[in-house]
Structure 1
Amino acid sequence: MTTPAENHSFNPDCAASQPCLAEYADGTLLPAEAARVAAHLAACPACQAELTQLRTLLHGLDALPAEVPPLALRENFLAMLAREKAALAANGQLNGLAADAARSFPTPLRGAKGGQPLVPAETAAPETAADTSRQLTQQWLRIAASVGLVAVGAALGLLLRWNGPPATAPLAAAPAPATAQLASQLTAAAIRPATATDRLRLVNEVPAQLAPGDPAVQALIHTLDADPNPNVRLAACEALFRLRADPRVGPALVEALPLQTDPNVQITLIEMLVALREKRALPQLEQLSQQPGALPAVRQQAANGVGQLI
């Protein structure tokens, strides 16, 4: 006689449904598959128990505090990346120079006797000194141009990442029904139970450009202030920074700083307020720099922000 557990292991319906239980618990399963799994769950206590365990695990993962990376991690990574790019570029250019030199000065093959070339004399003759000098000069000019482009690209990337001013050109308005629906979904997700994955997906769907007064901006502000998951709040903060041309964004970021308790969100907010030159944030930054309950890294970042905004 087989036990219920053995029947569960050999049941083909269970075997077909079990790989989908994690996505079903997270709410990301396609509707047709979700309907099939739901029909199976209605008659299978064993799969119901597995689903309960998966949901408990997912909620536990959502509640875990985010790891705080060292403040110097970004700078160290960018420096390492720059060194690797420079090494690869130099190696590629040197290999190109060696190949060009080999083509410019071919080595004639020698015979076994007499040391006479086995190739015709006209192909073994080297080019003139003027031609050789001109080729080497062109190679070094290409190297200098490549290095210059890398440096200019890195500088422009940093400027556009943090210090670029809000766009003054008219913003292309996103379709009103789409953004209005997105705003309502964000608001509804904050009221009714929804997984952090669903809320994060909704935040990431907000376009980088919206028409003035779009309701999605206010929904993002509410998400930054009230969402229980720090990763969702961090995504809302970054989405608002992309929409910084909206006049509601600057004051909202200032007001959000005292509400945050997660170090990653606090540090990101401080960096954005400094990039926006938000002097209205000075009282909040001064208070945070002296707050005993904040991490030392957060207090130091707040103090640095005060120094940059004064």
Structure 2
Amino acid sequence: MKPTEFSACHELEALLPAYVERSLPAAEAERVAAHLPNCPNCQLQVTQLRALSDDLDAALPEIPRTALRANFMAMLEQQKQLLKPEADVPAPIQAPVQPEAKVVSMWPTAVASNWLRVAASIVLIASGVFLGRNLHWGNAGNGNVAATNPEKPAHVELAQALNGSKSRTVSASDRIQLVTNSTKAPQADDNTVQVLLNTLNFDPNPNVRLAACEALYRLRDAPGVREGLANSLPIQTDPNVQIALIDMVVSLRVHRAVPQLQRLAKKADALPVVRAQAEAGIGKLI
């Protein structure tokens, strides 16, 4: 591809989602339409965007009929009336509901173009739905995942809590909470960074690895974090974690990650959205 053609592709890339949705102004739509016949790369992206849009349309939930919703609301109101306490009996005091722990992204996402962020969000939302349906957040016992032992260094206690023991298996939700809380402790140090890097590279659950990514980003100024994030790129296979790591190393300007990004951009078994994200990251770091 000539330099002028690459520049045109890079400039028009952000317009492709709106072009597929037919929401571009006429002048820009004509510009994209004139560019597409001579650019196989942009043609491929348009094809992928259209397929993604069709999949989303097919996955939209069916809206219940008006009569069904009305009947449900009437039944709900009837049950609420039956559950009301008698006038002379005080209402029972309900225990406060503990909020669910959430993994919230802490790094900028300006690297990806609009359609890449849409695709990545769909993957993350699907993972969140699965996590919410299959995992129980927190410890049902006393509300603490692991009691703090002042006689043990923080990183030793964290590693032991994450690994569990032969008699006690640590659930994925508990490991996420442990990883998230590890950066809140005042004694978070280089050893804690190493434990988080081991979790990022070797934990079997992608949601735990994603939580470790975010914890390491919060410790981004600690020695070894940026190099560890770059070295983790070729290890990861889950698209959530791959996209998160790409965004992080680009946001932190980790130039030593360029070779790993180049290999990921050419990796045959990586998702197209991941390869495109890696290519965009290379352009930002070079």
Which TM-score band (shorter chain)?
0.3 to 0.5
Q: Which has the higher contact order (CA 8 A, sep 6+)?
A: 2
**Greater CA radius of gyration, 1 or 2?**
1
TM-score normalized with structure 1 length? 0.42
Which protein has the bigger helix share? Answer: 1
TM-score normalized with structure 2 length? 0.45
